Amino acid sequence: MTAEAADAVVVGAGPNGLVAANALADAGWDVVLVEANTEVGGAVRSAEVTAPGFCNDLFSAFYPLAAASPVIKGLGLEDFGLAWRHAPAVLAHALDDGRSAVLSRDPATTAASVDAFHPGDGDAWLEMFAHWQRVRDPLLDALFTPFPPVAPGVRILRALKAAGTLDFARLAVLPVRRLAEENFGGDGAALLLTGNAMHADVPSDAAGSGVFGWLLTMLGQDVGYPVPEGGAQRFAEALAGRARAGGAVIRLGQRVERIEMTGGRATGVRLQDGTRISARRAVLADVDAPSLYRDLVGFERLPGRMQRNLERFQWDHATVKLNWALREPVPWTAPGAHGAGTVHLGVDVDGFVDFGADLTVGRVPQRPFLLFGQMTTSDPTRSPVGTESAWAYSHVPVGTVDDQTALAEHVDRMTAAVERVAPGFSDLVLSRSVQSPADLSAADSNLVGGAINAGTSAVHQELIFRPVPGLGRPETPVPGLYLAGASAHPGGGVHGACGWNAARAALATERRLGGVRRALLRTAWGRLLRD
């Protein structure tokens, strides 16, 4: 049965799907967005899962990428209820010996913190930040537009000149450990850079980790790590509210089971209950790439090479997340950690290498690296006065904590890591909830196996290799179907660029005079997927 028709059907109301719906509605298309969950947001959601009055972000929590993203900034979400809040300090790395490196939004304060580890590192820090400021605008444009980023690339060349651009290209493949060694004498800056690099899944001694660490650290220095007042759900609701105001219809609690195709072209979707929604112009999928191609399209409807490429698709690591309601703020030994929104802990600079090696060889880390969020410190509305709403997550190799005993043992390891830097922490816990890798993927089917970035961020699966060797663009080999989720370039994180790029590509290709573009795409995919 066909229930309705629209210019575009968007599958999935994660931040990318919501951004795509906004962009299409802004362009005057009528849009139906279908979401499997009963809430919008995907991995941008919050709820009370520990104790009454404690708001817990269920997945993502800090939004430097959103704050810097021209896409999100351009949506004016403040008019739809979004307000950003900041912790007194952006981030701290707490060491077991009581020292900490602190990233502050004031560059001089950060410089003083890293200088305390090694005299001279403060000046080197300020130099690194000055370099970031020179390249920031074209870089963010390059990052958040579809491949190839020609115009922003020219602006980077203009800002850095030939030699500087070559150095910059080197930075793109440098391991973060090497980046820190080349620029700093002490561990303070190395801890900040490496901890931030570990927000992706690239080991600290592997090519490509440097640019992640550098990007997130410099963003933290520049725009901070803001949080939405009242919880992550408010961010998602602002995106949804704006889309609805533009005329988009959002259908919740309905899973798309199949992409409908006519004559090899995507023409709509079929829901789990059999309902069909026709798409006159395009279907945009905020769905992880393997599930989209294998389950919703079907391998049998794709060229054989596409299937083989997808069989090589590499997921990022699994995740265990703990949420706490704390009767008091965390009793950190390191003074610098008290005011930080995010605290990194559990390992030192060498410990990062051990942690990465454990994940690479499939061993559960005995000394895990934790990302810890102090949400009430960041936004006082998150829990009653004098208390703290907190969480921490850490990665494990896929499949290693699937049974309850292994999971409980790892929860104990994570708790012990917190106790080493905040003795007495456990005595403050009013209530705790655990999200296993299976819980994460049950709550958002894109988080396959507890992966948080819709596929590895390693260089062999970035740019034109994301999600599989191809164009590095949202267009798929199925005409009329666009990949709008974080499996597409530029990947994980809440910046909206994957959804935005997919919507822009659909608008350009599916307009009345888009015939030449459609023919070019057919030819390009035909050549790339020919056996």
Ligand X SMILES: Cc1cc2nc3c(=O)[nH]c(=O)nc-3n(C[C@H](O)[C@H](O)[C@H](O)COP(=O)(O)OP(=O)(O)OC[C@H]3O[C@@H](n4cnc5c(N)ncnc54)[C@H](O)[C@@H]3O)c2cc1C
Residues engaged in binding ligand X (CB under 6 A) = 11-17, 34-37, 42-44, 59-63, 65, 255-256, 286-287, 319, 321, 393, 440, 444-447, 452-454, 485-486, 492-494, 498
Match 């994180």 to its residue by tokens.
493
Decide whether 250 or 529 has the Cβ nearer to ligand X: 250
CA angle 490, 492, 495 (to 5 degrees): 75
What whole-number distance in Å separates Cα of residue 403 and Cα of residue 413? 16
**CB count, 10 Å around CB of 280?**
15
Distance CA 504, CA 511 (A): 11
Residue 122 contacts residue 115 (beta carbons within 8 Å): yes
SS3 79: helix
Distance between CA atoms of residues 325 and 33, nearest Å: 34
Question: Could you give the C-alpha distances from 308 to 11, 67, 299, 478, 491, in angstroms and in order?
Answer: 25, 38, 10, 16, 21
Distance in Å, CB of 286 to ligand X, minimum: 5
Instruction: Give the tokens for residue 349.
Output: 């600079």
User: What would the two tokens of residue 278 be?
Assistant: 């026709």
Q: Which two tokens stand for residue 424?
A: 């007495």
Our CB check for ligand X shows the closer of 306 and 371 to be 371
DSSP bridge partners of 262: 265
CB 397 → ligand X: shortest distance, Å? 16
Shortest reach from residue 38's CB to ligand X, in Å: 10
**Nearest distance in Å: CB 14, ligand X:** 2
Q: Report whether 480 contacts 266 (CB < 8 A).
A: yes
Angle CA 409–414–418, to nearest 5: 140
Cα distance between residue 397 and residue 364, in whole Å: 7
Given a contact cutoff of 8 angstroms between Cβ atoms, the answer to whether 96 and 343 are in contact is: no
Cβ 104 to ligand X shortest distance, Å: 19
Q: Which is nearer to ligand X, 63 or 313 (CB)?
A: 63
φ/ψ (deg, to 5) at 501:
-60, -40
In 362-476, DSSP assigns E strands to 370-374, 388-396, 429-435
> What is the phi/psi pair of residue 261, to 5°?
-130, 145
CB of 333 to ligand X, least distance (A): 25
Nearer of residues 75 and 447 to ligand X, judged by Cβ: 447
CB-wise, 201 or 388, nearer to ligand X? Answer: 201
Name which of 124 and 289 has its Cβ closer to ligand X: 289
Nearer to ligand X, 136 or 199 (CB): 199
Indicate the SS3 state at residue 271: strand
CB atoms < 10 A from the CB of 169, how many? Answer: 11
As a whole number of angstroms, the distance between CA 496 and CA 519 comes to: 28
Q: Which helix (H) or strand (E) holds 507?
A: helix 497-509
Spatial distance between the Cα atoms of 57 and 43, rounded to a whole number of angstroms: 9
The whole-angstrom separation of Cα 187 and Cα 116 is: 10
Q: Quick one: 50 or 186, whose CB is closer to ligand X?
A: 50
Rounded to a whole number of angstroms, the minimum distance from the CB of residue 490 to ligand X is 11
Shortest Cβ distance from residue 515 to ligand X (Å)? 30
Q: How far is the CB of 68 from ligand X (least distance, A)?
A: 10
273: helix, strand or coil: coil
Which residue, 125 or 342, is less far from ligand X as judged by CB? 342
Q: Output 120 or 253, the one with its CB closest to ligand X.
A: 253
Residue spans of beta strands (DSSP E) within 357-461: 370-374, 388-396, 429-435
Return d(Cα 5, Cα 129) in angstroms, integer: 50
- Cβ distance to ligand X smaller for residue 415 or 446: 446
Q: Which is nearer to ligand X, 44 or 326 (CB)?
A: 44
In a 3-state reduction of DSSP, which class is residue 354? helix
**Least distance between ligand X and beta carbon 401 (Å):** 15
